[in-house]
């Protein structure tokens, strides 16, 4: 497998009021083109920090990150981010929030009508066409999160970075969007990194699950390859021995090997 | 809250106690005629219910009246007390006109607020309007300069570090100290007064805009960075809407001080304007007119403030 994104001995130290805080150390990870990687670990271990590094929103204090053979120097639309707190602009409607992204990526070469089509298609994908003209403070938390997803997907990024994108959703919507995401990833061959707390979600979606140790100074504890065939069906998987094994392995890591998250400073 | 609880309490109290009392009365009068009494009781109960419903409606009206009084009464008492003290104070002290005298003068004055007898004798309406005009022009220029300057200072920390000490130095200076400079540069009184308004309005505009730009949530800027928006798009789609509430606060503070300063500036420069008018009436020893002017200045200032608060509410976005 050819590596598309690579993280090479990366460390992240924050300067805080109480001195230096080592959030991440010695992270080494290569992600192949089209691969789906799930990042899992206890709260506060540094998953968002790692995702922000890949996004280019923050610069590492040690090591280097590469994407498509070039060093990641900053963020860009080819690496779309679904933020943990959705980060919609409150003065724009759902439509305009997505349109802002669509216009930026495709505005140079496509007409207004086509941009509008793209925006509506992205909103339809997450089932939010009816809320198109609503403002973020008029919709529920889960709906906001879905607009955030629509915004990222509408950009057709090479790398899709998602920070707990389905965290605020109910089980049914979550399942529907997981299925939708699998289809999109299969169709677009987007390289995807998804932070999650949910073991089932990780096993269902990911090619590899990166399990992180507890912070501070967190690093990668184990990497599990989920060699289940695609397309995957959640109902069939439930009885698949390999699926059950993967699930057990992640649970064991989280609740035995990393059972006592030290209270993060 | 209180209105609701009163409404809820009233009907039940009316509906429950009387039928019980009736029942006792009838059983006393006809110990054997139970059914008759029963019917009577039912009829009475229905009647009572009707009365209760009407009482409830009345209760609701009363509750609303009470709520209104609760809101309106304290300010009314405040004003009444103020006028009372004013009246008592003017009984002994000589020269100060009392409330009644002022009221009579006001009636005469406001009968014709827009008369014009030459440049130095105009109705109070013209004086207020020309003061407002000066404030508007001075403030308009301040906004034109101050808002872009605030954006630049908020966005580029080098500029901020460069200009901030200067602003800190100049801001505490009374804008009236700038009046002679205005007179020197503009050679006329009118633009000099406008100039002081410009000076006093510009500081809150710059500072609030700059603070607003610095406080734009990092999340929104991250969106801009991931999308790699052009600087123009960043300003129009993210910075401007996010900073607008701060800018409106700056505008409110600016106009507030401008309205304070214009009175003093006009006293010094003369011409037409509420400040000049106050000074002129002092020279004419029409003290009741000065008191009227104080109220007019207060009311206009209050209206300006309320209008801007309304505007700010319209443009404040709930954080999601
Ligand atoms: N800008 C910062 N300055 C200082 N410390 C930070 C900063 N950002 C994150 N941290 C610290 O780094 C650690 C990792 O934070 P991070 O947000 O990456 O956790 P996470 O794994 O995403 O947690 P969660 O699952 O709750 O979202 C935390 O202890 C946090 O306090
Ligand atoms: Mg996180």
Look up the CATH number of the domain holding residue B274. 1.10.3720.10
Task: Please tell me the predicted confidence (pLDDT) of residue A93.
Answer: 95
pLDDT at B15: 38
Do residues B55 and B108 share a domain? no
pLDDT value of position A193: 96
**Ligand 1 binding pocket mutation candidate from A47, A165, A262 (most atoms within 8 A of CB):** A47
Instruction: Identify whether the C-beta of residue B249 lies closer than 8 Å to the C-beta of residue B308.
Output: no
Predicted confidence at residue B318, as pLDDT, reads: 64
Residues B91 and B117 in one domain: no
What span, in angstroms and rounded, lies between the C-alpha atoms of A257 and A253?
Answer: 5
Is the pLDDT assigned to residue B41 strictly greater than 50?
A: yes
Q: B26 and B120 share a domain?
A: no
Domain count along chain B? 2
The segment(s) of chain A belonging to CATH 3.40.50.300 are 3-78+158-264
Q: Distance from B317 to chain A by nearest Cα, in Å?
A: 6
Say what the pLDDT of residue B30 is.
Answer: 45
Sign of CA dihedral A136, A138, A144, A150: negative
Q: Are residues B43 and B148 in the same domain?
A: no
Report, as an integer, the average pLDDT of B15-22. 38
Look at residue B149 and tell me if it is in a domain.
yes
Q: pLDDT band at residue B12, thresholds of 50, 70 and 90?
A: very low
Domain boundary among B96, B111, B138: B96
B284 alpha carbon, distance to own chain's centre:
32
Instruction: Fold for A3-78+158-264, please state it.
Output: Rossmann fold (3.40.50)
Sheet holding A208-212, edge to edge: A79-82, A159-163, A191-196, A36-40, A208-212, A220-225
Which ligand 1 atom is at minimum distance from the Cα of A265?
29
Give the whole-angstrom CA distance, residue B259 versus residue A97: 40
Residue B13 lies in a domain: no
What pLDDT is attached to residue B133?
93
Q: Is the pLDDT of residue B99 over 80?
A: yes
B79 and B131 in a single domain? The answer is no
Query: How many C-beta atoms surround the C-beta of residue B211 within 10 A?
Result: 16
Q: How do the pLDDT tens digits run along chain A, 265 residues long? A: 578 999 999 999 999 999 999 999 999 999 999 999 999 999 989 999 999 999 999 999 999 999 998 999 999 999 999 998 889 999 999 999 999 999 999 998 999 999 999 999 999 988 899 999 999 999 988 899 899 999 999 999 999 999 999 887 889 889 988 998 998 888 888 899 999 989 999 999 999 999 999 978 999 999 999 999 988 999 999 889 999 999 999 999 998 888 765 544 4
pLDDT at B23 over 50: no
Q: Tell me the whole-structure pTM to 2 decimals.
A: 0.75
Residue B47: domain span: 19-96
- pLDDT the model gives residue B48: 81
In a domain, B111, yes or no: yes
* Angle in degrees, CA A237, A243, A248, rounded to 5: 135
Interface list for chain B against chain A, based on CB atoms closer than 8 Å: 219-220, 222-223, 225-229, 233, 237-238, 241-242, 317-320
The answer to whether the complex's ipTM is over 0.90 is no
Mean pLDDT on B201-230: 93
Q: Average model confidence (pLDDT) for chain B?
A: 83
- Domain boundary among the residues B96, B122, B145 is at B96
State the average pLDDT over residues B204-231.
93
The DSSP code for A67 is: E
Mutate to test the interface with B, among A53, A100, A103 (most CBs of B within 10 A): A100
Nearest CA in chain A to B238: A89
Q: How far is the CA of A83 from the centre of ligand 1 (A)?
A: 14
Residues B140 and B253 in one domain: yes
Please check whether residues B145 and B235 belong to one and the same domain: yes
Q: How far apart are CA B236 and CA A46, in angstroms?
A: 34
Residue B20 pLDDT grade (very low, low, confident, very high; cuts 50, 70, 90): very low
In this prediction, residue B36 has a pLDDT band, given cuts at 50, 70 and 90, of low
Please check whether residue B37 is in contact with residue B30, taking contact to mean a CB–CB distance below 8 angstroms.
yes
Cα B305 vs. chain centroid, distance in angstroms? Answer: 4
Nearest residue on chain A to B241, alpha-carbon basis: A91
Q: Are residues B117 and B53 in the same domain?
A: no
pLDDT over 50 (residue B26): no
């Amino acid at each position: 497998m050819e590596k598309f994104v690579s993280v090479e001995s990366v460390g992240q130290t924050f300067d805080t009021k109480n001195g230096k805080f080592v959030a991440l150390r010695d992270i080494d990870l290569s992600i192949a083109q089209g691969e789906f990687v799930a990042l899992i670990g206890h709260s506060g271990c540094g998953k968002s920090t790692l995702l922000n590094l890949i996004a280019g929103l923050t610069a590492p204090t040690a090591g280097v990150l590469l994407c498509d053979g070039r060093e990641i120097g900053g963020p860009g639309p080819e690496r779309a981010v679904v933020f943990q707190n959705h980060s919609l602009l409150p003065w724009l409607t759902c439509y305009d929030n997505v349109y802002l992204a669509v216009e930026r990526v495709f505005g140079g070469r496509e007409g207004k009508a086509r941009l509008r089509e793209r925006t509506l298609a992205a909103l339809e994908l997450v089932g939010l066409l009816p809320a198109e003209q609503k403002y973020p403070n008029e919709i529920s938390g889960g709906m906001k999160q879905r607009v955030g997803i629509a915004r990222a997907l509408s950009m057709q990024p090479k790398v899709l970075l998602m920070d707990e994108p389905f965290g605020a959703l109910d089980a049914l919507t979550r399942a529907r969007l997981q299925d939708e995401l699998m289809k999109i990833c299969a169709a677009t061959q987007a390289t995807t990194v998804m932070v999650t707390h949910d073991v089932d979600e990780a096993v269902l979606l990911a090619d590899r699950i990166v399990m992180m140790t507890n912070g501070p100074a967190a690093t990668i504890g184990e990497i599990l390859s989920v060699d289940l065939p695609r397309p995957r069906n959640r109902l069939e998987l439930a009885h698949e021995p390999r699926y059950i094994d993967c699930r057990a392995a992640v649970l064991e890591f989280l609740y035995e090997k990393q059972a006592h998250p030290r209270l993060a400073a | 809250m209180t209105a609701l609880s009163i409404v809820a309490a009233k009907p039940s109290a009316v509906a429950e106690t009387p039928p019980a009392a009736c029942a006792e009365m009838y059983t006393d009068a006809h110990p054997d005629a139970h059914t008759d009494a029963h019917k009577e009781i039912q009829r009475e109960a229905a009647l009572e219910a009707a009365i209760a419903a009407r009482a409830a409606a009345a209760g609701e009206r009363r509750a609303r009246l009470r709520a209104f009084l609760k809101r309106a009464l304290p300010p009314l008492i405040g004003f009444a007390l103020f006028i009372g003290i004013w009246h008592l104070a003017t009984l002994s002290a000589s020269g100060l006109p009392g409330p009644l005298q002022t009221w009579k003068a006001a009636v005469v004055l406001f009968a014709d607020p827009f008369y014009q007898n030459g440049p130095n004798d105009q109705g109070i309406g013209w004086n207020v309007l020309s003061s407002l005009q000066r404030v508007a022009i001075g403030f308009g220029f301040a906004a034109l300069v101050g808002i872009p300057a605030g954006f630049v200072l908020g966005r580029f920390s080098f500029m901020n570090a460069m200009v901030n000490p200067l602003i800190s130095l100049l801001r505490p200076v009374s804008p009236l100290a700038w009046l002679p400079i205005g007179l020197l540069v503009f050679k006329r009184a009118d633009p000099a007064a406008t100039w002081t308004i410009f000076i006093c309005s510009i500081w809150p505009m710059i500072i609030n805009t700059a603070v607003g730009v610095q406080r734009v949530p990092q999340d929104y800027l991250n969106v801009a960075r991931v999308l790699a928006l052009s600087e123009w798009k960043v300003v129009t789609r993210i910075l401007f809407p996010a900073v607008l509430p701060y800018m409106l606060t700056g505008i409110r503070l600016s106009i507030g001080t401008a309205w304070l300063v214009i009175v003093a500036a006009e006293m010094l420069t003369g011409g037409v304007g509420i400040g000049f008018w106050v000074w002129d009436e002092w020279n004419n020893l029409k003290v009741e007119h000065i008191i009227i002017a104080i109220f007019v200045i207060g009311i206009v200032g209050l209206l300006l403030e309320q209008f801007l608060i309304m505007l700010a509410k319209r443009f404040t976005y709930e954080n999601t």
